[in-house]
Amino acid sequence: MLNLIIKDIAIQKKTLLYALLYSIFAPIAFFSKGPSGFGLYVLSPVVTAYMLISFAVSYDEKNKSEIVLNSLPLKRKDIVLSKYISVFVFAFIGIIYSILVGFIGKATGLPMFAASISLLNIILVLTSVCIFTSIFFPVYFKFGYIKMNFFNVILFMSFLFVPTATIEYATSNPNNVLVQKINYFINNTSSFTQNSLAIIICLIIFLISLMISIRIYKNKEF
């Protein structure tokens, strides 16, 4: 299983470079969007993880890797599990990129690099990637990457723009009933409780998605 994860990283040298360039671009492009550091420490790692996930399955489909893998003494369950575990590896690559860019960027004195990464940033990255994966992989294992291209574009655009649009809406409409309830919950609940709740919900969704994907892949014909 570890070799499958290493394989997904090794085949993406160019993608890793593009992801690093995006980590430099994101804090500049999204500096005025959302809280301080959002572009660099949240959006950038999420997009990096998305890029690595998407290109990994794209390469698999292009090179018909699934046919080869299923001819080897590998359990289909392990093939699916390796994809889900690799998500966290990709997310941490994105986080490391953002930390490095932020560290170097601070030396420039530019305001978009002034913030530092926080525990909340990391939790937002991991929960976002978990939710994305939970939607992406069952569809991928059912239809394949090529057939889900249009769906993939919509999913990517949603994860790219919905969070920033939501933050902007909440900031511009503080008197909205739903916004007030969310603010009340945030202001009257400890950070530990909020983070724990977010992690638990995402892990439940993630595990349900994993079981669905395993079931789909076990019954798939090649």
Cα separation, 163 vs 167, in Å, equals 6
pLDDT band of 84, cuts 50, 70, 90: very high
Average pLDDT over residues 187-195: 82
Share the mean pLDDT of the chain.
84
26 touches 44 (CB < 8 A):
yes
Residue environment code for 174-191, b if the CB has 16+ CB neighbours within 10 A, otherwise e: eeeeebeeeeeeeeeeee
Q: Do the beta carbons of residue 23 and residue 97 sit within 8 Å? A: yes
Q: How many CB atoms lie within 10 A of CB 137?
A: 23
- What is the predicted pLDDT for the residue at 165? 75
Residue 192, pLDDT above cutoff 90: no
Average pLDDT value for residue range 39-59: 89
Is residue 193 pLDDT above 80, yes or no? yes
- For the chain, what is the total number of helices (H) and then of strands (E)? 10, 0
pTM: 0.84
Q: What's the rounded Cα separation, in Å, for the pair 152 and 164? A: 19
Mean pLDDT of 194-205: 89
